[in-house]
Chains A and B, each alone.
Chain A
Amino acid sequence: MPPEKEVAIEMVNISKVYPDGVLALDKVSLTIYKGEIHGILGENGAGKTTLMRILYGNIKPTGGKIKVFGKEVSFGSSKDAIKIGIGMVHQHPSLVPVFTALENIYLGLPSNFKEQVSLKELIERTGIKVPLEERIEDVSLGIAQKVEILKVLYRGAEILILDEPTTNMTVEEVKEFFSTLRNLKKMGKTIIFISHKLKEVLDITDNITVLRRGKVSGSLPTSQATPEELAKLMVGREVFLKLEKQGSRPGEKILRVEDLWVKRNDGSWAVKGVSFEVRYGEIFGIAGVEGNGQSELIEAITGLRRAERGKVFFKGENVTNAHPLKLYTMGLAHIPEDRQKTGLILDMSVAENSILGIHRKRDFLRPMMIFNENKIKEHVERLIQQYEIVVSKINAPARSLSGGNQQKVVVGREFSKTPDLIIASQPTRGLDVGATEYIRSLLLKMRNNGKAVLLMSSDIDEVMGLSDRVAVIYEGEFMGISETSSVSEKEIGMMMGGYKMGEIGIK
């Protein structure tokens, strides 16, 4: 680093131990220079967000020092951080959905607030153009991110923390977004860019700090970094393990979806005429950036949301808008996207959750709908043993389990239905490596046993690694369906950004 560069932030030996004894950060030190874009790279749970929330004053560190522009600081809350010019843009923007962009920018300004530059001038200088009079709920997440950045800058932020800002952006949006960031850099703003996406970090940053399990595993200028090197620092092993996969022997069709149209809660179209089929003995993957209609598609197929038009056939029978129970009895199982809201009832016990949706099965009942508690106990203990669920007792509320163990309860319960088709939505989201691999192997085993899997995930690696065939959904339409072996990740990525398969030259 050229010595004349001014240090914006210095964090020294920052540690964080949560009350439950989890060591989230272990003596993390890092230096960020003024006017640079600094990447913080790491897997889910590496401690990136915790570190940044400490810098932003949301969380108090257990140990360590923070200096901002040379002065040691100690934040009581994020308000103190904002005061000295630190702004944070969260993954989900802190904007009120029913307010316009402008109202959101003005919201909560202190009465003695003096603007450094007028909003108009700020927009001109940064080149961040947003529709100021539109409601946030009517604009894309990409635009909302920009509104949030504008809002933070308007309040005088010199240091911007961006937490996974591109998660919900299309390829095009990311490109535009990066040019905005370069603009801000030119204006002398310091930007901290948190991500787990190697390519983006390599593209936009000047320096990179890599975190692994709460420790700094490496720190280097971007010019000296390679993707392989970064991946190694990030996961601590040379390459991602490819799952063992035998060739598929697809059989008969089990699920057929014909020209399906589904609405969102707000009445807009989420799914616009999607058709596909899933066969016995294959994993059919649906990839796509979140919010492109895949959730509504799965809900419509599984009977949780009305299909407005089109048909769904399961095992040859027309099951369009059938009741979920009917689908379950026909041999369908569903690992829902949101385990905490849909897959489980957190205030019920593990035992009660283990029979959710099968609670009227004759095995579990005595006459008069009275539960046969012995049978339920046997059932839940079998799940705990088979799926290695860590749980203090079967009567503990599901809330008390870790995310991975919660998901195992859902997965175990769904597999216990011995389904012919399992629909898995984001089955490994937020889980640690061990649980992730375990759940993936279960899905593969299911397919190897000749059953069918419909996998919806926004994790490209997951979809590509598991699926035999893959479809990419973009704004409610399939951009293409292909054998996984005949498309590259890059091509999938382009389709996720709205290019039709024909346009990028795949047949």
Chain B
Amino acid sequence: MDEAMLLSILLQTAYASTPLLLSSTGEILSERAGIVNIGLEGIMLLSGFVGVVVGQETLNPLLGILAGIGAGALVGLIHGMITAYMKGDHVISGLGINLFALGFVPYGIYAVWGVRGYFNPSDQAKVPKVFGVSPIFIASLVLVPLIYYILFKTRFGLSLRACGEDPHSADASGVRVERMQLLASVIGASFSGLAGVFMSLDWLTTITKDLPAGRGFIALAIVNFANWNPLLGLLGSYVFGFSWVAIEWLKISALKQVIPVTLLNTIPYLVTLAVTAGALGRSRPPKYAGVPYKKE
């Protein structure tokens, strides 16, 4: 294997891992505050779509990225209102997000561009490379340690984690639990939003209803695997991300004689199943993650 190929595999792995990394990091933040959002898949899809719409209309990829993040934040706001303030069921609300996105995005693709199935943004709308690599990929590498630092080294992070561990005590100590949870939900979801635009405007540069292809749920598995720690999430995301690269790799290798190409598509999901089954047992979720906090 030559250097160029190794570099290419590395870069491919990095790109395949970036959406997982962003999405799982956001969810770690959110769950640390007690808000579980299983609608990551839907958020990625919605944001990916919104990003392409705005990017394509304005031919300004930056606006596209911001719109995608904004769409994620909006969904996080709604989810946070439902769960933190109105004490709704976290899982059901998340399911609703996924169902909505699954219907809204194909509808939107047709409504906006009059095509069925998929739309590819034009080159001016695509995110340009910085030093030959994706700026969102670079941002992800900055954001993860930043989130780690905020969560574990700041007063704000202390208050945030208290909401997920023991909201009653947090409340009694003067933390505004619901506001904090809403904020965490908004920030967490905007990370998945960024993951969505990364895919639609940067890495894959297309929008279809299968854009996330289960990545939102794999990100959930990574949260678990990483024991709610963003630095471990980095590791997890790259392990899972590599499984996608492996497909492409295997498709051109000799193995395709043995395993047909269509079946290779199952690899990321099999890896996720195998790793979560093997790695669990030692992780400890925030105690009140997903439990509606009710004041006495």
Q: Do A and B come from one complex?
A: yes
Residues of A at the B interface (CB closer than 8 Å) are 58, 78-79, 82, 90, 93-99, 103-104, 106-110, 151
Cβ–Cβ < 8 Å partners of A98 in chain B: 165, 287
Known: A97-B166, A99-B158. A110 touches B174 (CB 8 A): yes
Q: Are A95 and B165 in contact (CB under 8 A)?
A: no
Q: Are A108 and B162 in contact (CB under 8 A)?
A: yes
Q: Are A106 and B169 in contact (CB under 8 A)?
A: no
Closest to A79 in B: B174
Q: Are B172 and A99 in contact (CB under 8 A)?
A: no
20 A-B residue pairs with CB within 8 Å = A78-B172, A82-B174, A90-B172, A93-B169, A94-B169, A96-B165, A96-B166, A97-B165, A97-B287, A98-B165, A99-B162, A99-B165, A104-B169, A106-B155, A107-B159, A107-B169, A107-B175, A108-B159, A108-B170, A108-B174
Q: Are A104 and B173 in contact (CB under 8 A)?
A: yes
Q: Are B165 and A108 in contact (CB under 8 A)?
A: no
Closest to A105 in B: B173
Distance in angstroms between the alpha carbons of A79 and B175 in the assembled complex: 10
Flag whether B168 is at the interface (Cβ < 8 A): yes
Distance in angstroms between the alpha carbons of A106 and B155 in the assembled complex: 8
Flag whether B296 is at the interface (Cβ < 8 A): yes
Cβ–Cβ < 8 Å partners of B161 in chain A: 96, 99
In chain B between 129 and 162, which residues have their CB closer than 8 angstroms to a CB of chain A?
155, 158-159, 161-162
**Chain A interface main SS type:** loop
Residues of B at the A interface (CB closer than 8 Å) are 155, 158-159, 161-162, 165-166, 168-170, 172-175, 287, 296
Apart from the given pairs A107-B174, A108-B162, 10 other A-B contacts in the complex at a CB distance below 8 Å: A58-B296, A79-B174, A94-B173, A95-B166, A97-B165, A99-B158, A106-B158, A107-B162, A107-B170, A108-B175
Looking at the assembled complex, report how far the CB atom of B202 sits from the nearest CB atom of chain A, in whole angstroms: 37
Cβ–Cβ < 8 Å partners of B174 in chain A: 79, 82, 107-110
Closest to A58 in B: B296
Looking at the assembled complex, report how far the CB atom of B281 sits from the nearest CB atom of chain A, in whole angstroms: 13
Looking at the assembled complex, report how far the CB atom of A495 sits from the nearest CB atom of chain B, in whole angstroms: 33
Q: Are A109 and B165 in contact (CB under 8 A)?
A: no
Distance in angstroms between the alpha carbons of A78 and B296 in the assembled complex: 12
Among A78, A79, A93, A96, the residue within 8 A (CB) of B162 is A96
Which 9 pairs show the lowest CB-CB distances between chains A and B?
Answer: A108-B173, A94-B172, A108-B174, A108-B175, A94-B169, A96-B166, A107-B173, A96-B162, A96-B169
Cβ–Cβ < 8 Å partners of A90 in chain B: 172
Cβ–Cβ < 8 Å partners of B168 in chain A: 94
Distance in angstroms between the alpha carbons of A98 and B174 in the assembled complex: 18
Cβ–Cβ < 8 Å partners of A109 in chain B: 155, 174
Distance in angstroms between the alpha carbons of A95 and B296 in the assembled complex: 16
Distance in angstroms between the alpha carbons of A107 and B173 in the assembled complex: 6
Looking at the assembled complex, report how far the CB atom of B126 sits from the nearest CB atom of chain A, in whole angstroms: 42
Q: Are B158 and A107 in contact (CB under 8 A)?
A: yes
Distance in angstroms between the alpha carbons of A181 and B203 in the assembled complex: 65
Cβ–Cβ < 8 Å partners of B173 in chain A: 94, 104, 107-108, 151
Cβ–Cβ < 8 Å partners of B155 in chain A: 106, 109
Distance in angstroms between the alpha carbons of A94 and B162 in the assembled complex: 11
Known: A58-B296, A110-B174. A95 touches B158 (CB 8 A): no
Looking at the assembled complex, report how far the CB atom of A394 sits from the nearest CB atom of chain B, in whole angstroms: 29
Closest to A97 in B: B166
Distance in angstroms between the alpha carbons of A103 and B159 in the assembled complex: 10
Closest to B166 in A: A96
Distance in angstroms between the alpha carbons of A106 and B173 in the assembled complex: 9
Cβ–Cβ < 8 Å partners of A107 in chain B: 158-159, 162, 169-170, 173-175
Distance in angstroms between the alpha carbons of A97 and B169 in the assembled complex: 9
Cβ–Cβ < 8 Å partners of A110 in chain B: 174
Among A82, A94, A106, the most chain B Cβ lie within 10 Å of the Cβ of A94
Closest to B170 in A: A108
